[in-house]
Structure 1
Amino acid sequence: MISDATGPADPSELRVSPLELFFDLVFVFTVTQLTDSLAHHLTPSGLARVLVMLAVIWWMYDAFIWLTNALPPVTHPRRALLLLGMGGFLIISLTVPHAFEGGGWAFGWAYLLVIAVHTGLFAGAGVGPGPGPGAGAALGPVARMGLLNLLGATLVVAGGYLEGSAELLLWSAAFALQFAIPYLVDLPRFHLSADHFVERHGLVVIIAFGESVIAIGVGVGDTHLTVTLVVTAMLALAVCVGLWWAYFGQNDDEHAVHVMTALDDARRNRLAIRIYNIGHYLLLLGVILLATGAKAAVARPTEPLGTARALALATGVALFLLANTGIRRTLGLAPLRPRLLAAALALAATPLGVEVSALAQVAATAAVLLATFRYEETARGAGAAAEAVSPGGERGRRPAPRR
C-alpha cells in the first residue's frame, strides 16, 4: 500500500485539478458504452441491466469524487493510485457491452481493483474528521465502509461468472447494498469542501451532456445532409441545451455551495449523499435515455421512432427534470411547478414520436423546454421588480452595485 503523510489541502483553497479532469475522461467513455448498450437492447431487460451497471459504476465513481475532495492528488503516490483507479474504470467501461454475455468477470475484478484503490488511499493516508479529540477514530467508519464496498464487489465478481437473470440478481443486490451503506455506516467526518464537490459534479453533468451531443453525431453518421436532418439535429441539441439550462441556467450550483457551506459536517455529508449520489444517478440515467432516443431520432427524422425509442427520449427528459426539481426543492429553490409540468408534457409528446415522426416529437419537446424556461425567466424578472417596490408603492433603495 502506498501512503503519504501529506494531509488534505486547505478546503478554502481546494480546486479541481487537471488530473481529476483527466480522470473524468474515462467517464465519458462509460456513458457512451452504457448508451450504446441501451440502444442495442432497448427492452425492459436491457434497461434493467443499464440501471444496475450505471448504479454500481456511479457509486464508486462518486466515491472517488469524495476521495479527491478529502485527499487532493498533490503528491506522486496519490496521483499514481488515482491513475491506477482510472485504469480500473477503463476496464469496467470496456466490458459494459458484454457484461451480461460472458464478460462480467472482467467487470467484477476491475471493480474490485477500483474499490481496493479507493479504500487503500483513504485508510493509508489516515483520513480523519479533522483536528481535535477522536480525530483518528474516523478510520473505523472508513474500514467498515471499505468492507461493505468489498461485499458489494464480491457480489459483482460472483455475478460476473454467471449470465442472464442470475447475474442481474446478484448485481441488483450489490446495487441495493450501495444505497443502504450511508445508513449502515457513519460517513467519515472529514470536512467536505463544498466548492470543489459541487464543481466536480457539475463537470460530470457536462460530460453526460457531451455524450448526448456525440449521440446526435453518431445518429447522423455519414447520411447525406438534408434540411430536415439539420433541423432535427439542431432541435435535438436544443433539448440538450434545455436540460443544461435546467441544471446551470439559474446558478443553482452557487446556491448549493452556499447551502452546504452553512451546514455542519455531518449534515453536509448526508445532504451530499442525497443530492449528489442519488440525485445525480437519476440525472445521468435521464441523459442516457435522452441520448438513446436522440440518436435514433436524427437517424430517421421523418419516420416514426417506434414506441421504445420515443419512450426513451420522453422519459429521459422527464426523469432529468423530475430529479432536477427534487434537487432544487431540497436546496430551497423555486419555482418547481413549471418543471414538473414540463416533465409531464415531455411524456405527453411520446405519441408524436410513435405515430407521426421523430422530428415532431423532438420539436415538441424543445418547444416545451423553451416555453418553460422563458416563463421562469419572465416570472423571475417580475418577482425582482416587485421586490424593488416598497409596500407603500414607492421604489425602495437601489441595490448597491456588485464589486
Structure 2
Amino acid sequence: MPRSPFDWIDEQAVRRERAGLVRTLRPRPVDSALLDLAGNDYLGLTRRPEVTEGAAGAARRWGGGATGSRLVTGTTELHGQLERELADFCGFEAALVFSSGYTANLAALTALSDRDSLIVSDAGNHASIVDGCRLSRAGTTVVPHAEPEAVRKTLDAHDGRALVVTDSVFSVDGDAAPLAGFAEACREHGAALVVDDAHGLGVLGDGGRGALHAAGLAGADGVVATLTLSKSLGSQGGAVLGPAKVVEHLVNTARTFIFDTGLAPAAVGAALAGLRLLRQEPELAGRARAVAAELHRRLTAEGLRAVRPDAAVVSVQAPSPEAAVRWAADCREGGLAVGCFRPPSVPDGVSRLRLTARADLTRDQIDAAVETILRTAPTG
C-alpha cells in the first residue's frame, strides 16, 4: 500500500515533540483575567474607544473588506488619508499602506533590489526581513549584530547597487540598532538604508515619531522605513515610508502590493484613530519607555539577568529552554502572560522571557507583574 504523501509531517511532529518545540494555538478570551505583558500593544490603544470606534465607523461606511487589490478597488479615501498622516507624522515625503508589516518588508526588499544587488542584513533581523532577502534574489550578506564596521567592510568589497537593512529595535532583546553608524556607512558607499521601525514607532523619537526621527534620519536621502500598524497604533497592517519616487516604484513593482487584497477599512480606520491619539497624547511614548526601564531595574536588582531596554521590550534570560517554558507557564498560572523565546527562534541560543512594557500599566499592575516573575523564577 502506498504511503500517504503527508507521512513526513507525522515524522516532523514527533521530532518537534521530542525537542520540546511544539507550538500551540491558545485562543484569547474577550474577558481574560491575565495581565498581558506578551502582546505588542505598547501604548494600550487597541481597546481605546476612539480606536474601536474608528474601526467600527470605517466598517459601517466602507464595508467589512477592501474588496480587491489596492490597484483595483482596494484603495479607499481612508487609505490615502492614513498614508498622508503617517508620512507627515514620521517625517517622510510619502507612505504606502500594506496588509501587514510582513508584506511591507517583502515589498521594500524585493522591489528595491535585483539579482545584481547586494543586501547587507543584520544578524538579529526579523523573519520578515530574512524572507524578503531570500525572495529578492539579490546576493545577501548577513553581518554580525549591530556592528556598523562590519557593514562598512562588506560594502567596501562590493561594486554596484547595495542596500543595508536592519530592525530599529530588535524584537527579542529590545536593543536598538546603531542607526547613525549604519547611515554613515551607507552614505560613504552610496547604499540605501532600509529600517524596520515596527518596535520604534510610538515609543522612540519626539512624541513617538520613531527611531529614524530620533536619529535625525527621517526623510533623509537614501533612507526608507517600514513599520507595522499592529503594535503602537493598536490596529493591523503595515507601511513603507520614504521618497515619493520610492513609493511610486513600489506601487508599480511590489508584488505584495499589486497582487494582495488591500488592508480592510476597519483596520485603516483603527490605525488612523491610533495615530491621531498619539499626536494628541505624545507623553505615551515616554511612559512606555519608563515602564520598561522600571521593569528592568526592579528585576535585575533581584538578581535576574535582563538586557537593558532601549524601547519597550524587556528581555529576561532563562537558564535553559525547558526552564523558560516552565517559567512562562508558571507566570500564566499566576495571572501574567509573558512571551517565551527559545532556540531555534533565537539564533544566539539563549532562552528568555520577553516582556512588553505598556504605557497604560498601572502601579498595581507593574507591582503584580514584578512579584509574579520573581516568585516563579527558576532557582539554581
Q: How does the TM-score come out when normalised to structure 1?
A: 0.25
Q: Larger C-alpha radius of gyration, 1 or 2?
A: 1
The structure whose RCO (Cα within 8 Å, separation 6+) is larger is 2
More helix by share: 1
Q: How does the TM-score come out when normalised to structure 2?
A: 0.26
